[in-house]
Amino acid sequence: MMRTLLTLGMLTLASSPVAAQHVRALESARLLNDAGPVAVRLQLGTGTLSVGASDAPYLYRSITRFGDSYAAPSSSWNATQRTLTLTAGQRITGNMPRRDDDENDEVAQDWRVQLTRRAPIELTIDAAAADATLDLTGIPLRRFALNSGAAAATVRFDAPNPEAMTVFDANVGAGGLKLIGIGNAAASEMRIIGKVGDIALDLGGRWQRDLRVSVSSIVGGISITAPSSIGIELESTGLLSRDNVEGSFSRAGNTWRSTNYERSSVKVRLSVRSLLGTVTLIQR
């Protein structure tokens, strides 16, 4: 059986003798009493989002700080389907009283979420215009999806994923995307779509299985760094893009293949399509 714990605090920060900026802090958590798989969805409009793993006996723990122009966050748990939805407060629209600090809104929303290490998770994150820092190290991920709009996102795996991941999806807008330690993700497929912004892929980590990666970008550079211990095949196509490849590779048409590809125990196949930008691949 699971319980939800809620703690609500109110802080007031004086910004001037005339007007004050009010900051609310909301903490919530749900106790975890079994190790069954869970589907988790995090939804955020604007602000900042940080995600990490927790050793505490919770399915999740959330701490949110938000200003007067935002509603309070909410949570929903479906015990039958084993789905958890956490939603950060949406910006309040309408006839709100105007405050002197609304334009800058320095403490608009900061959301920090910790997820359990003790149950397999399928994680979906919808961050419309929020900068996201996602440290997924130690979270047993079976599937991952990121939908990001006009903000930057960084995703990292600093240790091997305790679960095998079927698919890693990322659909990002103008902020760009940085993935660190992809070898630790234990994914069999990655699908990345970018609109405007740079995409950086670090293929470091402890590799245990082959990986197929597809990357599509409209405007922005795509950079890929890889260790020499894995075999790399890159198929790069684009209307106005150009390739910059460093390392020991052979080329046939628009396909680059590392000289160790055939004898490597782990093979990574990359299909990259860039409309306008430079595709850089460095293996060392």
| Tens-place pLDDT, residues 244-263 | 999 999 999 999 999 999 99
pLDDT at residue 107, rounded to an integer: 58
The total number of structural domains in the chain stands at: 1
Q: What is the pTM of this model?
A: 0.89
| Intra-chain end-to-end CA distance of the chain, in Å | 50
pLDDT digits (tens, 9 = 90+) for 171-224: 998 889 999 999 999 999 999 999 999 999 999 999 999 999 999 999 999 999
pLDDT digits (tens, 9 = 90+) for 141-172: 999 999 998 889 999 999 999 999 999 999 99
Q: Is the pLDDT of residue 20 over 60?
A: no
The DSSP symbol for 91 reads B
Q: How far is CA 170 from the centre of its chain?
A: 8
Tokens found for residue 36:
């069954």
Tokens found for residue 93:
């629209």
Cβ–Cβ under 8 Å, residues 85 and 43: yes
Tokens found for residue 272:
């990259």
Least-confidence region, from 6-15, 19-28, 142-151, 226-235: 6-15
Q: 263: phi > 0 → left, psi -120 to 50 → alpha, else beta; which?
A: alpha
Cβ–Cβ under 8 Å, residues 150 and 129: yes
pLDDT at residue 21, rounded to an integer: 59
Expressed as residue numbers, the domain containing 134 is 4-283
Residue 183: CB partners within 8 Å, gap ≥ 6?
A: 157, 203, 204, 205, 206, 207, 227, 230
Tell me what the mean pLDDT of segment 114-130 comes to.
96
Tell me what the mean pLDDT of segment 126-148 comes to.
96
Q: Is the pLDDT of residue 76 over 90?
A: yes
